[in-house]
Amino acid sequence: MKSIVFIIQADSKKLYDYWWQKHFQKENSRVINQIYDYATLVQCTKLLYVNMSVTYKIQK
């Protein structure tokens, strides 16, 4: 197993969605969906800037 940290930064939901599709569409959907849900929650607070760090394990 390998530990990976993702730093996700976006100044809008549209930009975030684009970044998401480009970099995570082939990753583990269950774990990724948890990260996506959190990022969406942050967006819902009306903040225009997302700075999120997530650590999880993937198959090496």
Residue 22 has pLDDT above 50, yes or no: yes
In sequence order, the 6+-apart residues with CB closer than 8 A to the CB of 43 are 13, 16, 50
More confident residue, 36 or 56: 36
Going from N- to C-terminal start, the domains of the chain cover 2-58
This prediction's pTM: 0.23
Question: CA 46 to CA 26: how far, in whole Å?
Answer: 29
